[in-house]
């Protein structure tokens, strides 16, 4: 059985500051990390593999050369193969989907595709459903957990609880970032990911796509900013604070 | 599939309706009203696609808020939402009447359908808008979407695409002003679900615990940073308030909290009624997670600590001392 995990790399939030007054996002340190929802998807793939025999996990990432690092982390987190789909332009969700779908078709019969439900930075949350459309597969969105038993069984977020759903394979499942356990990548595997294992490179030419498939349909114009936050009320001491908390009915 | 013909201009703004428990969703009314405002600017019609079972009677409620025409797919097989049948109904409708603009709610239904429709029809799509306009010069949607949990927004445009879709969050257009004198037409559409199978089977509710759910659901939180001074005072305050102890990422290094109790971008997003931040500077990575809190109290020795500007109540001072005084006062 083969599982594809789509992973996204994004700007490390620790490296940016947002100045609402200046209406600017300052990139202090340009460092990139694996999107938390993608990490959660990798973790689910690893769990499925731990409970079944002969499962191959293939990590795919669309982006410029820097995504190599994300793919090596994916190898450290249990992926057996990692493929960089080279894209130097600024692809939108439609183009990312077309590239991923073409790669998935080329990889031969794939049973399950896992994505993050929504990425942390400027996530569209569209990729899983778009992939389901491109592949003509069923989709399960917002799963916290997924298991494979001939079919895929998942716990999805609904209202304030979870609902179990199932669908036949092949299928696309998106995993919420909150499902991630916080586990670090295995140190030994991380070393191997850099020293022993390879990241394969595929270009758009390797994937049979039309010009139309690669044309973006949604583009970013600019950033916008909410008004600078109102400064809070300055309180002199604990006594005044207790009065305020009582007034606001926060404590009795 | 039949090719769409966009040479004849459609001149419509579509809204995909949702119903809950036999009523139109408030968001559907809001979107219809928002579509009306846009349509008036562009000289367009507002069309609504209403799918479900026993929904025909609801259609006329869409006229006062701005619909010109409501297309009703009323069929028992559409009683519960399922991706494949709903997609088939909308897709058939949009093949026969290619939409230039279409809005869906940013709900679990909209999130499931809009990306598929956009992928199928090659439309531009702006998801989860908190602001949406038509750019009448470009004839495109321009929308805002939250980045990094709302620290700022990205402004996106569908300019250049042949059709324009968006999913929209509640309160984007505001409460509709109904106009009782408005009227429109209702057209019922033939539902063809031949060969369409809903592929997702719902089994039922399950108990599932996310890795760190306690913090997320906590009603009160005492959160500590590197500058808390005396962790025991913070812990006693938490006990006194019946609050969970949490912290900034830096508090892990000091062994005040463990990984599962971090609030922020790489930790939890909380929604407590009371969030007491003791000795936390208030880096955006941290405040991202605290935004859902109803009332924030911050105590920090440095008057320039950013958290003091974001708190509802801010005290410049020694966090441990303030914590001890609070315990005294609450006794
Ligand atoms: C990828 C990433 C994700 C992050 N996610 C989160 C998150 O989810 N939640 C969160 O709260 N934070 C997160 N952070 C950390 C965040 O950027 C801030 O550093 C942190 O919130 C500050 O905590 P504080 O206010 O207690 O520390 P502060 O008191 O502001 O200290 C911040 C920094 O100042 C220096 N410093 C201050 N006082 C001392 C001292 N006494 N001794 C030595 N050095 C000192 C240290 O360099 C320290 O790291 C993240 C950081 C990274 C890199
Ligand atoms: N460039 C990309 N390469 C591979 N997967 C991606 C890429 N962008 C997004 N994804 C996947 O889609 C999910 C949702 O991303 P987003 O659309 O940014 O919210 C991510 O968590 C990834 O699983």
The DSSP-derived string for B95-161 is HHS--SEEEEESSHHHHHHHHHHHHHHT-EEEEEESEEEEETTTTEEEEEEEEGGGTEEEEEE-TTS
User: Can you point out the beta strands (E) in A103-185?
Assistant: 112-116, 139-149, 151-158, 161-168, 171-175
| Distances B251 to A185, B261, B263, B272 between C-alpha atoms, Å | 22, 10, 10, 20
State residue B165 phi and psi, 5-degree precision. Answer: -120, 155
The burial class, CB within 10 Å (0-12 / 13-18 / 19+), for B304 is exposed
pTM of the model: 0.81
- pLDDT, position A88: 80
Cβ atoms of B325 and A239 closer than 8 Å: yes
Distance B210 CA to ligand 1 centre (A): 25
pLDDT score, position A234: 85
Rounded to 10 degrees, the C-alpha dihedral A161/A164/A167/A169 comes to 100
Angle at B89 between CA A219 and CA A215, to 5 degrees: 20
User: Distance between CA atoms of A196 and A27, rounded to whole angstroms?
Assistant: 33
Report the residue of B84, B118, B308 to disrupt the A interface, i.e. the one with the largest count of A CBs within 10 Å.
Answer: B118
* pLDDT for residue A230: 66
SS3 B238: helix
Q: How many CB pairs under 8 A join A and B?
A: 227
Determine what percent of chain B falls in helix, strand and coil, rounding each to the nearest 5: 30, 30, 40
pLDDT band at B69 (very low <50, low <70, confident <90, very high): very high
Residue owning tokens 């690669």: A214
Instruction: Report the percent of chain B where pLDDT is more than 70.
Output: 96
CA distances from A29 to A39, B131, B250 (A): 22, 30, 19
For residue B77, give the DSSP letter.
G
How confident is the model at residue B218, as a pLDDT? 84
pLDDT at residue B6 tops 60:
no
A21-26: Cβ within 8 A, 24+ apart = A21/A228, A23/A223, A23/A224, A23/A225, A24/A223, A25/A223, A25/B152
pLDDT of residue B212: 55
Q: Which two tokens stand for residue A143?
A: 């799963």
- The pLDDT assigned to A14 comes to 73
The string of pLDDT tens digits covering residues B27-55 is 999 999 999 999 999 899 999 999 999 99
Lowest mean pLDDT among A5-14, B166-175, B282-291, B307-316: B282-291
Residue B133: the pLDDT is: 96
Name the residue among A73, A80, A77 with its Cα closest to residue A54: A80
Helical segments of chain A, H only: 36-50, 67-76, 93-106, 127-135, 187-195, 238-247
Q: Is the dihedral of CA B79, B84, B90, B96 positive or negative?
A: negative
CA distance B331 to B324: 11
**By the CB < 8 Å criterion, does B217 face chain A?**
no
Residues B191-244 have pLDDT tens digits of 999 999 999 999 998 888 777 566 877 889 999 999 999 999 999 999 999 899
| H helices present in B226-281, as ranges | 231-241, 250-253
CA gap B153, B143 in Å, rounded: 9
Q: Are the CB atoms for A244 and A235 separated by under 8 Å?
A: yes
> B202–A222: do the CB atoms touch at under 8 Å?
no
- With a CB cutoff of 8 Å and minimum separation 6, the contacts of B235 are B222, B245
Going by pLDDT thresholds of 50, 70 and 90, the confidence category of residue B272 is confident
Enumerate domains of chain B plus CATH numbers.
11-188 (3.40.50.620), 214-330 (3.40.50.1220)
Give the confidence band of B4 by pLDDT, cuts at 50, 70, 90: very low
| Domains of chain A with bracketed CATH | 2-218 (3.40.50.620)
Q: Report the distance separating Cα B221 and Cα B40, nearest Å.
A: 48
Which DSSP helix (H) or strand (E) runs through B202? strand B201-206
Q: Is B150 left (phi over 0), alpha (psi -120 to 50) or beta?
A: left
Among B69, B66, B114, B63, CA closest to B91? B114
pLDDT at position B11, please? 86
A191, burial (CB in 10 Å: exposed 0-12, middle 13-18, buried 19+): exposed
Which of A10, A7, A46, A52 has its CA nearest to residue A30? A10
Mean pLDDT of chain B: 92
> Does residue B1 surpass a pLDDT of 50?
no
Angle, vertex CA A67, rays to CA A63 and CA A73, nearest 5: 145
Residues B46, B50, B55: CA angle, nearest 5 degrees: 130
C-alpha–C-alpha distance, residues B205 and B291, integer Å: 29
> Could you give the ipTM of this predicted complex?
0.83
Rounded CA gap, A63 and B271, in Å? Answer: 35
Contact A241 B322 (CB under 8 A): yes
Which two three-digit tokens encode residue A16?
């940016």
Least CB–CB distance from B259: residue in A155, A163, A182: A182
Ligand 1 atom nearest residue A33's Cα: 1
Ligand 2: residue of A8, A97, A123 to mutate (most ligand atoms within 8 A of CB) is: A8
Q: Looking at residue A62, what DSSP letter applies? A: E
Residue B306 Cα, ligand 1 centroid: separation in angstroms? 13
The DSSP letter of residue B224 is E
Distance CA A48, CA A156 (A): 17
pLDDT at B86: 97
Q: How far is A139 from chain B (nearest CA, A)?
A: 8
At A224 the three-state DSSP class reads strand
Tell me the nearest-neighbour CA distance from A98 into chain B, angstroms: 9
Q: For a ligand 1 pocket test, name from B249, B296, B305 the mutation site with the most ligand atoms within 8 angstroms of its C-beta.
A: B249
- Residues at CB less than 6 angstroms from ligand 2: A 6-8, 35, 37-38, 41, 60-63, 93, 96, 100, 115-116, 118-119, 123-127
Residues 6+ away with beta carbon under 8 Å from A158: A142, B108
Chain segment B173-190, per-residue pLDDT in tens: 999 999 999 999 999 999
Burial class for A29, CB neighbours closer than 10 Å (0-12, 13-18, 19+): exposed
For residue B8, the model assigns a pLDDT of 53
* Integer Cα distance of A232 and B230 in angstroms: 25
At residue B213, φ and ψ (nearest 5 deg) are -85, -20
Rounded Cα–Cα distance for residues B262 and A160 (Å): 22
CA A41 – CA A180 distance, rounded (Å): 8
Asked whether the beta carbons of A121 and A11 are under 8 A apart, the reply is yes
Residues in chain A with pLDDT < 70? Answer: 228-231
């Amino acid at each position: 059985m083969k599982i594809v995990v789509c992973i996204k790399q994004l700007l490390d939030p620790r490296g940016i500051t947002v100045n609402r007054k200046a209406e600017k996002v300052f990139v202090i340190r340009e460092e990139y990390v694996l999107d938390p929802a993608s990490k959660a998807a990798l973790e689910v793939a690893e769990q499925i593999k731990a409970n079944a025999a002969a499962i191959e996990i293939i990590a795919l990432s669309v982006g410029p050369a820097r995504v190599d690092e994300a793919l090596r982390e994916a190898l450290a987190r249990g992926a057996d193969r990692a493929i960089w789909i080279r894209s130097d332009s600024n692809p939108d969700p439609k183009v990312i989907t077309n590239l991923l779908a073409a790669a998935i078709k080329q990889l031969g019969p794939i049973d399950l595709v896992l994505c993050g439900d929504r990425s942390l930075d400027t996530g569209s949350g569209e990729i899983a459903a778009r992939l389901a459309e491109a592949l003509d597969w069923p989709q399960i969105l917002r799963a916290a957990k997924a298991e494979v038993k001939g079919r895929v069984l998942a716990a999805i977020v609904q209202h304030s609880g979870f609902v179990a759903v199932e669908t036949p394979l092949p299928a696309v499942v998106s995993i919420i970032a909150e499902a991630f356990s916080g586990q670090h990548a295995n140190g030994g595997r991380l070393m191997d990911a850099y020293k022993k294992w390879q990241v394969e490179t595929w270009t758009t030419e390797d994937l049979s796509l039309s010009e139309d498939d690669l044309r973006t349909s949604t583009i970013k114009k600019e950033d916008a900013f909410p008004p600078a936050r109102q400064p809070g009320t300055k309180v002199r001491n604990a006594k005044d604070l207790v009065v305020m908390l009582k007034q606001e009915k926060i404590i009795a | 599939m039949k090719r769409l013909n966009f040479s004849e201009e459609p001149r419509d703004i579509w809204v995909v309706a949702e119903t809950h428990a036999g009523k139109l969703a408030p968001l559907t009314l809001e979107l219809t009203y928002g579509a009306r405002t846009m349509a008036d600017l562009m000289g367009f019609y507002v069309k609504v696609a209403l799918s479900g079972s026993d929904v025909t009677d609801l259609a006329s409620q869409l006229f006062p808020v701005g619909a010109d025409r409501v297309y009703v797919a009323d069929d028992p097989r559409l009683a519960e939402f399922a991706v494949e049948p709903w997609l088939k109904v909308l897709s058939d409708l949009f093949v026969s009447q290619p939409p230039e603009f279409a809005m869906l709610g940013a709900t679990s239904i909209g999130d499931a359908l809009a990306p598929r429709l956009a992928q199928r029809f090659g439309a531009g799509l702006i998801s989860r808008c908190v602001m949406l306009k038509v750019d009448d010069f470009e004839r495109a949607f321009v929308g805002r979407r939250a980045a990094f949990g709302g620290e700022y927004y990205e402004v996106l445009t569908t300019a250049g695409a042949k059709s324009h879709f968006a999913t929209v969050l509640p309160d984007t257009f505001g409460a509709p002003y109904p106009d009782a004198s408005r009227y429109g037409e209702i057209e019922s559409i033939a539902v063809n679900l031949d060969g369409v199978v809903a592929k997702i089977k719902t089994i039922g509710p399950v108990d599932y615990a996310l890795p760190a759910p306690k913090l997320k659901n906590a009603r009160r939180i005492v959160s500590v940073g590197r500058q808390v001074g005396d962790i025991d005072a913070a812990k006693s305050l938490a006990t006194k308030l019946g609050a969970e102890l949490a912290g900034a990422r830096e508090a892990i290094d000091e062994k005040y909290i463990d990984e599962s109790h971090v609030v922020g971008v790489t930790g939890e997003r909380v929604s407590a009624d009371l969030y007491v931040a003791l000795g936390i500077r208030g880096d955006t990575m941290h405040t991202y997670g605290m935004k859902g809190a109803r009332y924030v109290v911050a105590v920090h020795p440095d008057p320039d600590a950013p958290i003091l500007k974001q708190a509802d109540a801010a005290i410049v001072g020694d966090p441990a001392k303030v914590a001890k005084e609070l315990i005294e006062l609450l006794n």
